[in-house]
Amino acid sequence: MTYRTRFSTLLAAALLAVLPGLGGAPATAQSPAQLPPPLIEARVVPGSPATLQLVVPPQLGADGPPGPRVVQILLDRDSLADDLIRDPSDDLWQDIGSVKAVLRDPVGDPPWFLMRSDAADPKKVRIGIANYDLNQSDAGPLSPVGSALRIFLPLRAGDKDLTLEVSAGASIDTLSAPIPLEAPAQPSPVVDPEAKVAFGVDVAAPNALAIGTPVTLSWSIADCVQATLSGPIDVRQPVLALKPSNGVCAGSKKVLALGSATYQLTAELSGGPDSPASVVVTRTVGLDVVRFENLANLTLTPPSVLPGGRVRARWYISELPADDRREAVLSWTDADGNRRLQRLRASASQTTSGEMSFAVPLRPGEADTAVRLHYGEETIERSFAVERWQVAGRSSLETGRLHGMAFAGGRLVLCSEKGLFLSDVGAGGGIGPGGIGKVNDPFPDFARVPIAIGERPAAGGPGATAGRPSIEQAPCLAVRAIDAERVAALVQIEKPAAGSPGYAELTLLSPAKQLASYPVTLADGPVDPGAAQLRDYQIGMLRGRIMVQVQIGPRDRTTDLNPRSSIKAFSIGEGDIRASTAGWRAEPALATDELSPRYGWYLADGFGADNAALFLVNAITGATARYEASTASIQGLDEARASGSPVRLAAAREAVEIDFPTSARPLGKVQAGALADGPLLNVGGVLVAFGAGAAYNPQTNEWQPGSFGEAGGKGSVAAYRGDNEPRLWLMKANGERLSLPVESPRLFVADYFENGRAASLPYLVLGARVTVRSREALKWRTDRRTRLVDKAAGQETVECTAKGVTRSVPMVVSTYELLYPDRGFDLIGVSADGRTSVSKAHKGKGSWDVTVSSDPCVTVRVEPVAVPSR
């Protein structure tokens, strides 16, 4: 209900114009008296405690000095709070404007006096509002101000409606008749308990903190009964109990961001008047750090190494959070077994990368094979494997001088001056039940095995006489595997007489069948009975033709002051061998006068399809010569292969011609002098000189020093199996036998990558779709057992952020199909100009490391896909 005083129209309008609002629709007083009370707003506002809130407008009068003015409010005595009901005093009116929070005048000293006095009715109390002290009737009035008087009277209890009586006048004695004024109770506001609890941190990005960052947790809880803070606060105090002070639980706690953490604040709040039961509110704050592993990467090349070999570590560190407490450090174990540390340059404003190589101890023992990239308390760790030669024992055979060893048909063929010997080493473990690779067979001792000679073809040939000794007992001069099942062997079934052509005989031997083709004779020059001659035979393959090089000279070149040495070379096709015809063809390119000196050359072959290259390395000068088939020969082979005709392909191989050599990067003279201290062998495409401790990478045309664990020593021979399970066998001159699993040629040359079709499909047990986004197409390399097939290419524009700047960049999108074994290896991509290099490391079990790229805009996404059954 609303009441208004009868006042002049002007006064009422003025009062309405300046009346401040409290919100809602308050009741007003109205009276027909000639001196009406002012327009007053009143309401009861619930709270702790509830309050009677009054608003009295400023005095408005005529011009001239202000006169006295009094407003009196009469209300029930028991409504007011105890601190407003004071003990009796000598003064009739007691000042209550000094009671805290009762009188709220927003401007300067109050022009009002706010006082209380007992009413005639003992159940009532009077509140007097005047512009002079009511106890001093002769006091002059204070000057009014143009702002309202706000009064907040605390109530004893409750938030029910109140009825007041309001009078007004120039003095207490001239008050108007009392007019009723209702103060309705304002509805209790619905306060969400969640709003009473504040819980937060003093950092802007709590989920992207540098590890070890100090963070302050702060909380404030209104109407708090009790509370707890839980989380990784302290190892000795995982839960912190919080006690209220004047109904409020407030405080803070400093913690360190050491990882992903959740802090929980559980608060019990007191209930309101309508709900005396307490309320439990739970708030959480999460902290997380930017892991160093998400900002950096570390790769090791190769993944496995021999004792004494070298490992190359490459690292990549993106923009680190600003943190003066930490620095990037690389640690590894050096060749002496000592742990080394190196500080790395890293910046909060740019991406950095680098690389370094180190030698592995010759006797690693229990040495730490991990390389670690540290950043404060965080560490990225990568390990490499140290492959060790497996000792199989010492042969009991009398073999004499060893001239070579080759693998074919699951057997090793040992070539020596005492003849041919075989060892059953198996054709590789293959795949066992459950897709698990078997272990290679051991390296059993060699044995003399009868080898039958096939029937002599009708064509015949020189030296094809009857009654010759069996072929396995004939001195063997050289041996070389020509395919997976056969080896080519040069034997001397009959010792040439003085003045004879000095021939050796070439046979194709199938170790699995213990069968040899009828030998064809090689007439390589007359034998000089007056000189102790050394004839050094070497066999190689080039585009399907068998090459034989003969170096003839004195046996002791250190004492012969005028060594009479010569080099001759011949080649023959498989068809001529089978027909036993005189199909030898001179190969002047392999005997050119440019090969100087005329002795000490080591021959190796077997790079690429059809053994696309031959290499000669000289033990005196270190010179390295590379031979390849002529362009016309290669074109003829390609056409014959495309035709699908075996006859055309055989004919094309017969017509292969060798170009004169191109000079390759030479081996150092010191290393070249040690070539004779171990075999020179093609291991999966890498030329490994065991004695010299060096390996040649034909992709980079570089010799790289290394340590291969076992040099073998003078007179030792080696053979390599590069099929299902690559393995290397070594036999020393003293008969000691060793073998070594070779997961990849990178065991000898870290930066060598085999291209083309994977060698062993049964090992491809995992599949993926690889999507690469780069500024230009990249050329990819990987190991021999991984197949990467180009599927699609396109273009799109992506948003790239580099050094804090985001811009649109046109990118080439390339999609590949990837089949790969479940083991560690690298995908390496390089742009045509070499400016962009990218690597993606497979850690095992389909888990891939982050992409390491010199261009921050490059992305490599690997999505697992099902591998089709075979």
Q: Which two tokens stand for residue 835?
A: 């400016």
Residue type, 456: R
Please give the backbone phi and psi of residue 649, each rounded to the nearest 5 degrees, phi first.
-65, -40
Half-sphere exposure of 656 (CA within 13 A, CB side): 29
Please give the backbone phi and psi of residue 388, each rounded to the nearest 5 degrees, phi first.
-120, 140
The span from the CA of 771 to the CA of 760, in Å, is 24
Instruction: Let me know whether 680 and 765 are in one domain.
Output: no
Q: Is residue 382 part of a domain?
A: yes
Place of tokens 């044995």: 447
pLDDT score at 563: 58
DSSP, residue by residue, 419-435: EEEEEE--S---B-GGG
Per-residue pLDDT, averaged over 417-445, amounts to 69
Quick check: 804 pLDDT over 70? Answer: no
Instruction: Let me know whether 166 and 223 are in one domain.
Output: no
Count of structural domains, the chain: 5
Instruction: Let me know whether 414 and 496 are in one domain.
Output: yes
Q: Which two tokens stand for residue 347?
A: 């910046």
Q: What is the CATH number of the domain that holds 699?
A: 2.120.10
Instruction: Let me know whether 601 and 482 are in one domain.
Output: yes
Q: Helix or strand or coil: residue 741?
A: strand
pLDDT score at 201: 94
Note if the bond before 597 is cis, omega within 30 degrees: yes
Of 128, 161, 183, the residue that ends a domain is 183
Of 386, 402, 434, the residue that ends a domain is 386
Instruction: Let me know whether 83 and 133 are in one domain.
Output: yes
pLDDT score at 283: 92
Query: Chain centroid to CA 489: how far?
Result: 51
Instruction: Let me know whether 428 and 564 are in one domain.
Output: yes
pLDDT (tens digit, 9 = 90+) per residue, 18-69? 333 333 334 444 433 345 666 788 888 887 788 888 887 766 444 555 667 7
pLDDT score at 851: 83
Residue type, 639: E
Instruction: Let me know whether 768 and 662 are in one domain.
Output: no
Instruction: Let me know whether 274 and 318 are in one domain.
Output: no
In the chain, % of residues over pLDDT 90: 20
Task: Tell me the residue ranges of DSSP E strands in 417-512.
Answer: 419-424, 452-453, 476-481, 487-491, 504-510
Per-residue pLDDT, averaged over 655-664, amounts to 81
Q: Is residue 834 part of a domain?
A: yes
Quick check: 420 pLDDT over 90? Answer: yes
Quick check: 717 pLDDT over 90? Answer: yes
pLDDT (tens digit, 9 = 90+) per residue, 449-462? 999 888 766 544 44
Instruction: For helices 631-643 and 646-654, give the axis angle rounded to 10 degrees.
Output: 170
Instruction: Let me know whether 601 and 689 are in one domain.
Output: yes
Instruction: Let me know whether 372 and 396 are in one domain.
Output: no
pLDDT (tens digit, 9 = 90+) per residue, 519-543? 888 878 776 666 667 788 999 988 8
The span from the CA of 553 to the CA of 555, in Å, is 6
Q: Is residue 497 part of a domain?
A: yes
Distances in Å between the Cα of 18 and the Cα atoms of 13, 30, 44 are 9, 18, 22
Quick check: 261 pLDDT over 80? Answer: yes
- 120 pLDDT band, cuts 50/70/90, is confident
Q: Which two tokens stand for residue 625?
A: 């010569």
Per-residue pLDDT, averaged over 242-264, amounts to 90
Provide, for the chain, the percentages of residues in helix, strand and coil under a 3-state DSSP scheme, each rounded to the nearest 5.
10, 40, 50
Query: Chain centroid to CA 751: how far?
Result: 21
Q: Is residue 751 part of a domain?
A: no
Query: Chain centroid to CA 816: how far?
Result: 21
Q: What is the CATH number of the domain that holds 233?
A: 2.60.40
Please say whether the beta carbons of 550 and 572 come within 8 A. no
Per-residue pLDDT, averaged over 544-570, amounts to 75
Query: Chain centroid to CA 686: how far?
Result: 30
pLDDT score at 569: 86
pLDDT score at 509: 92
Q: What DSSP element (H or E) covers 215? A: strand 213-221
First to last CA, the chain: 92
Provide the residue count of the chain.
870
Q: Which tops the pLDDT comparison, 667 or 59?
A: 667
Quick check: 413 pLDDT over 90? Answer: yes
Q: Is residue 778 part of a domain?
A: yes
In 655-704, alpha helices (H): 669-672
Q: Is residue 372 part of a domain?
A: yes
pLDDT score at 29: 43
Note if the bond before 302 is cis, omega within 30 degrees: yes
Q: Is residue 357 part of a domain?
A: yes
Handedness of CA 859, 864, 866, 869 (dihedral sign): positive
The span from the CA of 679 to the CA of 688, in Å, is 8
Of 359, 386, 413, the residue that ends a domain is 386
The span from the CA of 634 to the CA of 483, in Å, is 20
Q: Is residue 870 part of a domain?
A: no
Quick check: 371 pLDDT over 90? Answer: yes
Instruction: Let me know whether 710 and 821 are in one domain.
Output: no
Instruction: Let me know whether 574 and 427 are in one domain.
Output: yes
Closest to 446 measured CA to CA, from 425, 462, 417, 477: 425
Convert 110-130 into a string of H (helix), E (strand) and C (coil): CCCEEEEEECCCCCEEEEEEE
Q: Report the chain's mean pLDDT, rounded to a whole number.
A: 79
pLDDT (tens digit, 9 = 90+) per residue, 298-325? 888 888 888 888 888 988 887 776 666 7
pTM above 0.85, yes or no: no
Per-residue pLDDT, averaged over 723-748, amounts to 86
Domain that holds residue 811: 761-865
- 134 pLDDT band, cuts 50/70/90, is confident
pLDDT (tens digit, 9 = 90+) per residue, 336-370? 888 899 988 777 667 778 888 888 888 777 778 89
pLDDT score at 81: 84
The span from the CA of 311 to the CA of 781, in Å, is 19
Quick check: 715 pLDDT over 80? Answer: yes
The span from the CA of 598 to the CA of 568, in Å, is 10
Please say whether the beta carbons of 365 and 386 come within 8 A. no
